[in-house]
Amino acid sequence: MAFRLVRQLAPSAATRVNTTAAATRINSVAAATHVARGVTSLSSSLVLQSTRALRQGVHVTAPQRPSLTAIYDLVAQYHHVSDPVHDKNLADNGGSDQRPLVSAKWLYSHLDKPNIKVIDCSWRMQNPTTTPAQEYEEAHIPGAVYVDVDAIADLTNPKPHTAPQDPAIVAEMLGGLGITEKDTIVVYDNQNMLASPRLWWMLTTYGAHKVRILEGGFAAWKSAKYPIEKGPGKQTGSPKKIHKHTVGVAKFHPHFHQERLAKLPEILKFVEGAEKQSAGQHSATLPYVFDARAPGRFQGTDPEPRPGLESGHMPGAINTPFSEFTAIDEQQQVARFKSEPELKEVFKKAGVDIESVDPSHRIIATCGSGMTAATVYLGLHILGRKNIALYDGSWIEYANPQLGNKIVKGK
């Protein structure tokens, strides 16, 4: 059966195959060779040539032979060879633009690629006994650089980690760490993806083409017992210090997507409209605003962690706690981002059938300071929403007592 299928797949003309890419699609050269031996059109010398090519990562031109992809398909079907890139049902893949999550296994197998740049962006809201930068020095993924999300920001703004209006700030910092907008950038943190969605949002908002989040964060890497590096490595604490810890400098060309950023005037316009609409109704002209804070803070029963701020929520906002977007992987016992059906249930639980919302409808994610709102943003992005924005000022700005904005208690 396998023999007949391979004969049918064999092209009639010469086939040029990029075996560097094909090597990632075949877990075992021996398995591919095993299938190839059943094909009369594949001579032993061609098998040897293909095998060497796979190992060396070069191009091969061979007359009248099935493509390596076709061989892979037969191997997968008849010999149950697992391939993370080919099997989209497996978690061990390089993610996609819509679901930008990669596994520790994928990252480990690609860590030596020159275009793979890894960033540790661990963050703490309150003063810990050790700083994330110190924890980075104690242990991090080999080759990773450290980026302080409070530093890749508008430092003239008193609010923390505010997205800078000048894209050059982001470009200078990333370029100083040897990162370009064309690199595949993998971000991770040591708190079960608390901060990595924020940096993913930041980098893509400022023009990075391919940003991925390490699913499960540093805990997933350690759980898999992959190697760990110690020492200061490359890190940045502020834009003025970026070249101090850097060996190589690159050029990052920014492209600022300002539409992904919601500001206070848009929020106040939303609140004004929300107060006019009937209870339980949502006007087609108003955006949806999802608040990622914990229920107690949203309802006003728990205090805000930052002094001087009253808890509660803005009129019309809907509570979708960021913790609802992740679950514990039963096998690895580390956090994973929920699947699309599970994410739809998160919004349905909050009273919104996200599938029935017009694709062009504006949706805004908010939280305490703009950090965990990025988790909600990521969930919406995975569900295919396009018109999404993050309210960067979030509760710190809206609930500023000097502004006197209306605060609602309860659900």
66 touches 6 (CB < 8 A): yes
320 touches 393 (CB < 8 A): no
Q: Quote the Cα angle for 77-81-83, to 5°.
A: 105
Three-class SS state of 61: strand
Count of other CB atoms within 10 angstroms of residue 405: 16
Taking the C-alpha atoms of residue 170 and residue 206, their distance in angstroms, rounded to an integer, is 7
The tally of CA atoms less than 13 A away on the side-chain side of residue 95 is 24
Count of other CB atoms within 10 angstroms of residue 2: 15
Q: Which helix (H) or strand (E) holds 223?
A: helix 217-223
Catalytic, out of 17, 314, 354, 367: 367
Distance set, CA 317 to CA 8, 176, 274, 344, 367 (Å): 59, 39, 9, 18, 11
Q: Quote the Cα angle for 12-16-22, to 5°.
A: 115
Q: For this structure, is 367 an active site residue?
A: yes
Distance set, CA 53 to CA 19, 71, 79 (Å): 7, 15, 22
17 touches 59 (CB < 8 A): yes
With CA atoms as reference, report the closest residue to 96 among 264, 181, 215: 215
The residues, any chain, with a CB within 8 Å of residue 131's CB and separated by 6 or more, are: 124
- Chain position carrying tokens 């075992």: 28
Taking the C-alpha atoms of residue 394 and residue 390, their distance in angstroms, rounded to an integer, is 8
Active site residues: 367
